[in-house]
Amino acid sequence: MSVEDCIFCKIADGRIPSERVYEDDTCVAFNDLVPQAPTHILIIPREHIDSLDKASATHKGALGHLLLTAGSIARDRGFAENGYRVVINTNADGGQTVFHLHVHLLAGRPFIFPPG
């Protein structure tokens, strides 16, 4: 699949609508279409990266920014103290279905570990 066909690239540049909760020069955060928890936000880099498996040292800044943004959204929305889960599904066994790297930020209920 080309970057042109990538649904998260289209969300990042506004060609596909989303419920944005945060954005800056490096990333966009929006509500997941099929939430798995009371809060389920996806945080994506504006730059297309297929998956964590395809990330390299050149992406170090963007990857750090995604995690710091997750923490910042959690504090801003008031669930940081109760807790939350951050997930990066990677490739087939990891359950990745959209091949534009994304961080799931889940909150609002307890999560079991290990996940299924």
Minimum CB–partner distance for residue 80 and Zn ion (Å): 28
Considering only the stretches 54-62, 67-75, 91-99, 106-114, report the one whose residues sit in contact with ligand AMP under the rule CB under 6 A.
Answer: 91-99
Specify whether 102 is catalytic.
yes
Other CB atoms within 10 Å distance of the CB of residue 73: 20
Cα–Cα distance measured from residue 33 to residue 19, given in angstroms and rounded to the nearest whole number: 9
Cα–Cα distance measured from residue 6 to residue 16, given in angstroms and rounded to the nearest whole number: 10
Contacting residue, 96, 101, 105, 106, with ligand AMP by CB under 6 A: 96
3-state secondary structure of 57: helix
Minimum CB–partner distance for residue 58 and ligand AMP (Å): 22
Minimum CB–partner distance for residue 98 and Zn ion (Å): 8
